[in-house]
Amino acid sequence: MLSSITRFLRDEEGATAIEYGVIAGLITILLVVLFDPTSTTGFAGALKTLFTNLGKQLTLAVPAS
């Protein structure tokens, strides 16, 4: 019985797949937080403001036909 438990605790098969899964999950959470489309603050808000201002400047720079 003790040898079975010891063997189970030493077995590392599948550990790499689990580690990659955890890393992928953390990256997904990070991307959702950074690029939250409903956010008006932080990185997503700054990016939205940047492109809004860029669009306004382009509209003003192009003469109306």
Closest CA to 47 of 61, 38, 35: 35
> How many Cβ atoms are within 10 Å of 47's Cβ, its own excluded?
13
The pLDDT assigned to 4 comes to 83
The pLDDT assigned to 65 comes to 67
Overall pTM surpassing 0.75 (yes/no): no
The pLDDT assigned to 42 comes to 77
**What is the number of domains present in the chain?**
1
* Structural domain of 52: 2-61
Q: Quick: pLDDT tens for 16-63.
A: 888 889 999 999 999 888 877 777 777 878 888 899 999 999 988 887
